[in-house]
Structure 1
């Protein structure tokens, strides 16, 4: 019984946080044309996540609600470190190229055909790590 109450409190808090988040989304003309509030969140990469990639690529997954937003002509525009990426996406899962090692801030925006912003996601900060050419297992073996 006590565990159920704790779970209920946690579930209630999560629901309340979600409602507050959705309520703070500012409506605009483009959102009115979609006929429903649109929710956009970055699922991966997660905030604070360390991504290991030697190919300078990052897999991105987004949550877009309602899913019919793409049928209404909306597209996804990504911003990495405050710079707009040139490629516009039509799916919620894709791979971003040319993401180099270090700390990065990622944000997504749903835009109309005319370029008007419907909604933006919160900023996600992640880190990209890849092996250095100065540190190899072979060099460790030769040092012994």
Structure 2
């Protein structure tokens, strides 16, 4: 009984030591999980996709995690064929204008207001296909056949 009374003198000091030493360690572990790395990935267009559009436009969709990066003042800047576009976006879905036909590379960057790059997405290759009058034919030449284009099962 006397030993327990002697030990009870140290209980407040032990509790104080736990509060001073252990609680800050636990709170620092939770703050590191809040500062998770930023994920930036291009969802549309997909890699190797051929986009059919005659208006020189493509729709871009991004995956940005965490979603609060736009509240922190970060913006999106796109790199098309190795050159950054002038415009900045504050949303993960937008349209790129003035894209010519052919093969293109696309990359997204999260930048600060000062222009410093925070995160980059992987480079993506896609193709823009446009219809042309040069390749449009009204009849299909069939060598050695007696049927014409009007006899085919699909409309011409």
TM over 0.5: yes
Q: Report what 1:21 is aligned to.
A: none
2:92 paired with 1:92: yes
TM-superposed CA distance for 1:135, in Å, is 2.4
Root mean square deviation, CA, Å: 1.8
Following TM superposition, the consecutive aligned residue runs of length 4 or more in structure 1 with deviations greater than 3 angstroms are 141-144
Cα-to-partner distance string for 1:78-136 (whole Å, 9 max, x where unaligned)? 00000110111110000100011000000000000111100000001000000012123
Q: Distance in 2 between matches of 1:66 and 1:104?
A: 28
Q: Report what 1:72 is aligned to.
A: 72
Specify which structure has the higher proportion of strand.
1
TM-score, scaled to structure 1: 0.71
Task: Give the unaligned 5+ runs of structure 2.
Answer: 1-33, 142-148, 150-156
TM-superposed CA distance for 1:142, in Å, is 9.6
Relative contact order (alpha carbons < 8 A, sep ≥ 6): 1 or 2 greater?
Answer: 1
| 1:46-65 alignment, distance < 5 Å | 46-65=46-65
Where 2:105 maps in the other structure, the secondary structure is strand
Query: Larger radius of gyration, structure 1 or 2?
Result: 2
TM-score, scaled to structure 2: 0.66
Task: Give the unaligned 5+ runs of structure 1.
Answer: 1-33
Rate the CA distance shift 1:135–1:110 in 2: closer, same or farther, 3 A.
same
